[in-house]
Structure formats: structure tokens, C-alpha cells
Structure 1
Amino acid sequence: MTAFAPDWLALREPADAAARAADLVDTLRAHLPGGDLVVRDLGCGTGSLGRWLAGRLPGAQRWILHDSDAGLLERARTSLPSAALDGSPVAVEAEQGDVTALRAADLAGTSLVTASALLDLLTKAEVTALATAIAEAGCAALLMLSVTGKVELSPADPLDPALSAAFNAHQRRLTGGRRLLGPTAVDVAATAFGRLGATVVRAESAWRLGPDQAELQRQWLEGWVGAAVEQLPELRPVSDVYLQRRVEMAAAGELHAVVHHGDLLVLPPSLGAAA
């Protein structure tokens, strides 16, 4: 799994929070069983999703954070809110390990599985195995902010389509013997859960970056262009000038970017009949 710098995760957190489909949480609340909740957050990073979600769910909650990075886990463990939507206590613990290895037995007793910006980093086999584990455990899932491959930059530039295509190809690259899903992850996951009898509710969750987010625009552009050039090195002669031009526009408050993502709410048959 890819490691992410805490500074980058902190920079993107407000954009993530604004993008997430809050309507899915409304639907989730209506279908969660009563009693205390056990929530497992997969690939938790610094705990961004937990900070956003715990206070939106009622009842006492026990959050179990999963990540392969011990440093990120410790940051996350100490940063979640202490109270739920109705003031009930929120307890937090951490488990370091590979989230792709989790199976139904590991999820026994779990009410909800969550993840943010994770599915696109997985393979088809890994997503299918995760869907199977969640379905067999009979828990709900809220899987947010998976890239879908669509980027809209305003004003447009003639190089935008070529860079976008190369970036999307990079997201689907073969690395370490694993073929990543990238922009196809939401479709693959929705299909996998649907075949297992779950109710799947989809929603858009786009970053909408404007003049007040110039630093996030800059760092996102550097990563976006860098990945595109890594995938298609022949873009390098024009990419440096393109990136400089775009970063200058961002600094001047002249650039707007919409980076599309997708969210999934998954309800097992026992919860999803009336969704």
C-alpha cells in the first residue's frame, strides 16, 4: 500500500470533508441497528474520516483504526472526537496491519466498515475479497472519496486531456505485481457488493478547489502532472511549462479545479431492504 505524508493528508482534509456525500450518512443512520456501534476504519491515515464521521453518528461508538503505518495510526488514535452526535462516548483503538488481509472472521461484531481514498489503490481481487468479507460479516460499509478519473480545470488548457488520460493510466498501473483499479474502483466495488446481495447507494463527492485553496491546488497539480509524466515520459518536454503556468494561475487566484470522486454506502440484506 502507498504511504502518504501527514502534511499532505492535513492539507487535503478540509477539501475531503467538503466533498464527502453527507446524504449517505443520513441514509446510514436510518438503517444502523440500535445499541453501541463498532466501526472499523480501513487505511485510516491520520483519522480524517473518523474526525468527520464520529460526530455525525449517534450512540456509543468503538472505533478500530486500521493502517500499515504506525505513525499515522498514533496520530489518528489520539485525534478522533470523544463524543458522538448525541453526546455518547467514542472510544478509539488501533490495529496495525494490511487491510487487504481482513476477512469475515476479522470483522465479526463490526457494525460499520469505513474507508476513505482507499478503493482506487486496490486490485480487483482485493476489492472482491473485501466486499466478500463485509457481506459475510453482515455489516454496513461507507467507502468514500475514490477517484473516478474525471478532472475539470477552468480555464481549460489544450494539454488537459492528454495529462488526464496519462494520469488515469498511471492510476491503473501494474506495481509490485498488483494491477491497481484506479478510476474503475467504484464500479468494480459496486458490482461486487451487488452480486453479494447488498444494497449499494452511490453518490458523487468532488473536490471543488477555488482561489482560497492555492496551496492544495499546487500540491495536487504537482502530483497529477508528475504521475502523468511517469506514465508517459514523452509528455515531459511540455509538462514543465504547463505545470509552471497552472501553479502561477493558482497562486493568482485564477484557477478552478473539480476533481471527481465517488462514494458508496453498502447495506447488507438485513439492513438494506427499505433503503
Structure 2
Amino acid sequence: MSDFSADWLALREPADRAARSSRLARAIADVLADTAELRVVDLAAGTGANMRYLSEHLASHGAGAFQASGVRVQRQSWLLVDRDAALLARVPAPGGPLRCRVETRQVDLATPSEFVKARILDGPALVTASALLDLVSRDWLRSLADRCHEGGASVLFALSYDGRIRWSPDEPEDEAIRELVNSHQRTDKGFGPALGPDATGYAEQCLANLGYRVQREPSDWVLPPASNDLQRQLIEGWAHAAAEIAPARAVSIEGWRSRRVAHVDANRSHLVVGHEDLAAWPLHGAARAGRVGRLGRAG
């Protein structure tokens, strides 16, 4: 399974927050509006960025709400799951008016027997993950969809890479590098051959076949020159991935990397990285969805 440092997760969190579909977060909140105590499982949670974003949106739209002495109170219960105990140790305690109980649990999600034994999908109203689906295999994702369906859980999967990268200024090798990166995205990340750019489409297929209503929206990173640290990390990572797929082209790839970093250093690099968010819920929850029914699929 791919490993991510706390520094990398902190670097990408502002871009993630800016990119995510607030409409899909509202859609899920509407579906779960009658849930007095909302139980959420966050898979591959890292340091808790998904919870920090989503708990606010769920609370502001009434999910996990109840009346106490005439006062509307928000209550959520989150289980954050990751294989990296060091990342989970960085999850901050919840604060503010949100009554949010947080538990962390170290589980290797790539090991089916450990995943099942941990019983982490027993009973949540919502299963969520961020930047996970493109790392997993078809079998793993199909199994996850089945488990969510068995428990009647809604799902919200955010920021799955969809294969699109646009750089500005252009370089002649851009398209070739993108194709190599996408090939690398489909290699084994610990779960079997990864879905890579096909992840959201396959998730939609699995969930629709199980009777879920599914909504997708783009959640692209749009990175201006001021995002130079994140851009630089991405370029370095893509060059490394491309060289792993095509070692015979290492000289050309290094030239591309050098020119791309020069654009970043000169504060003239603009970058768009394509992602998608997906929300889905069992049809028995559709009547509570309110404005969800008016959401159209975008992207």
C-alpha cells in the first residue's frame, strides 16, 4: 500500500478543501438529516483532513442533529481508520460547538482478513474516503461497495484522480508524461492492480448495480503559481513515476522535470489536476434528499 507522509498530507489539504464538491457534501447531509447521532467511518483517514472538512458540512446542513431543551445540537461519531499509527496520532481533538466523538483505529485496509476482522463497517450511516479509490483494485472496491450495501450505508468518496493533467506553459513532452503517469497509476499500490483514473467510473457502476443513487462532480485541483511547493512535489513525483514505467526515456523525462521545475521557480506555472467526487445513497434514503434530486451530474 502506498505510504504518505504527514508533510505531504498537510501540503495538499488546502488544495483538497478548495477542490471538493460542496454540493455533494450537502447532498449527503440532506440524505442523513434525520440521523440523530451520525456514525461515520473514514477509510485511509491519515491525519483527519476528510473529517475536518466533512464534519463541518454535515453539521451545517443538519446531519446528526437533535433538539435538546429547545436547542439544536449537532452530534457526530467518527471512526478514522488507517494503517499508519503515526498519522492517526496527529488527528487533533474536535473542538467548537460540534459534538463530535472521534476514535482512531490502526487497520491494514489492504489485507481483507484484517479489514473484515476489525468490523469497521458494522453500522455506520456514512462511509467516506478521500484520495483512496484510485489506489485500490476492482475486486477491493467491489467488495467495499457490497459491504456498504449490506449495512445500508451512504458513501462519499472524494478526490479520486481521473487521469487529466493540464500544465501551463506547455512543454512538448507533457502528453507523453501524462500517459506514463496514468500507466503508473494502474500499477499495484498494495490492493492489487489499481483502478487509477477509472476509479470513479467503476465505483459508480458498482453502486448503481446495487441500487444506489449516484452523483458525481469534478473536484479538480486548480493550482496557481502561488502553490509552488505543491506543484514542485507533484512534478518530482510524476517524473519518478514516469521513469519507473519507461526507464529507457529517463534522459527525456529528466529534461521535462527540469524545465517544469524552472517554470515553478519562476512563478509562471499553472496546473490543473483532474479529480472527481462521488456521493451515493440507498434509494430508501432518496425521499429525504430534498434538493439532492435536483443535482445533475457534472463532469
Classify the TM-score, shorter chain: over 0.9
- Matched residues in 2 for 1:202 and 1:11: separation? 25
Contact kept, 8 Å, 2:137 with 2:191, in 1: the verdict is no
Q: Which amino acid aligns with 1:9?
A: L
Any unmatched runs of 5+ in structure 1? none
Contact kept, 8 Å, 1:107 with 1:133, in 2: the verdict is yes
Structure 2 residue aligned with 1:98: 108
Contact kept, 8 Å, 1:54 with 1:81, in 2: the verdict is no
CA-CA distance at 1:106 after TM superposition: 3.9
- Matched residues in 2 for 1:114 and 1:62: separation? 13
90-99 or 197-206, larger mean C-alpha shift: 90-99
- Matched residues in 2 for 1:266 and 1:177: separation? 23
1:74 matches 2:89: yes
- Matched residues in 2 for 1:247 and 1:226: separation? 14
Structure 2 residue aligned with 1:125: 139
Change (3 A) 1:175 1:39: closer
Structure 2 residue aligned with 1:2: 2
- Matched residues in 2 for 1:46 and 1:116: separation? 12
Q: Which amino acid aligns with 1:265?
A: A
Alignment of 1:1-275 (within 5 A): 1-32=1-32, 33-58=34-59, 59-76=74-91, 79=92, 81-83=94-96, 87-100=97-110, 101=112, 102=115, 106-174=120-188, 178-272=192-286, 275=293
CA-CA distance at 1:81 after TM superposition: 3.4
TM-score normalised according to structure 1 size:
0.93
Contact kept, 8 Å, 1:47 with 1:80, in 2: the verdict is no
TM-score normalised according to structure 2 size:
0.86
Q: Which amino acid aligns with 2:11?
A: L
CA-CA distance at 1:152 after TM superposition: 0.5
Contact kept, 8 Å, 1:145 with 1:262, in 2: the verdict is yes
Deviations 1:147-175 (A, max 9, x none): 00010101111100110001100111246
Any unmatched runs of 5+ in structure 2? 60-73, 294-299
- Matched residues in 1 for 2:197 and 2:230: separation? 21
- Matched residues in 2 for 1:175 and 1:111: separation? 28
Q: Which amino acid aligns with 2:35?
A: G
CA-CA distance at 1:234 after TM superposition: 2.1
CA-CA distance at 1:64 after TM superposition: 0.3
Which SS does the other structure have where 1:230 is aligned? helix
Q: What is the total number of aligned residue pairs between the two structures?
A: 270
Between the aligned residues of both structures, percent identity stands at 40
- Matched residues in 1 for 2:236 and 2:275: separation? 19
